[in-house]
Amino acid sequence: MPSHSKNFFSRYFGFINKAISAVDPDVLERIVCNVEDTKKNYGKVILVGNGGSAAMASHVSVDLTKVSGVRAINFNEADLLTCFANDYGYENWVQKAIEFYADKNDLIILISSSGKSLNIINGAIKARELGLSVITLSGFSPDNSLRKLGDVNLWCDSQSYNVVEMTHHIWLLAIVDLIAERRLP
């Protein structure tokens, strides 16, 4: 393997390891407690993101349900997205989906690598108006708009979409795995 490739991979995995390890375990524990409380209160977890974050929302929602026994959904159905975006505007489709699908004891997890996605920000605002608990995951600027809207916020200190997305994914799956482990006899 050329030395350039070895150096690239070594640096790249170092960035991801640093980002993953920078999280405060107490914040992750707080999210675990929020998810467990949502289940105890017969609520569901709703996960939303765009692009890679939408794929992550799908993966995590399935694992929360199957592995951790927590009801979870996401809004990645093409007909829902295209209908709501067409009827309400792309910047408003998440808030309208939350308005239509969220119940009073639900927990909303909103993911935006940049923290600037207007549809995700508007979803956070709507969730707060409805009195729902909101968890945000973002990266890039530490003072991004989404980070200011959550009850609990996970922020990844990186300017790289892939580093931010992989970090978010690992943090969320660690939460899933801890909840699953706590369920074991």
Report residue 175: phi and psi, to 5°.
Answer: -65, -45
Residue 25, sorted as left (phi over 0), alpha (psi -120 to 50) or beta, turns out to be alpha
Distance, in Å, from the CA atom of 126 to the CA atom of 134, rounded to the nearest integer, reads 10
The per-residue pLDDT for 1 is 67
Q: Measure CA of the first residue to CA of the last residue in the chain; give whole Å.
A: 47
Number of folded domains in the chain? 1
The pLDDT mean for the chain works out to 96
Residue 159: strand, helix, or coil: coil
pTM passes above 0.85: yes
pLDDT tens sequence across 52-111: 999 999 999 999 999 999 999 999 999 999 999 999 999 999 999 999 999 999 999 999
All residues at 6 or more sequence positions from 13 whose CB lies less than 8 Å from its CB, including other chains: none
**Nearest residue to 117 via CA among 128, 125, 107, 106:** 125
Instruction: Give me the domain span that covers residue 109.
Output: 3-183
At 34, which CATH number? 3.40.50.10490
The per-residue pLDDT for 2 is 73
**Nearest residue to 48 via CA among 96, 103, 16, 83:** 96
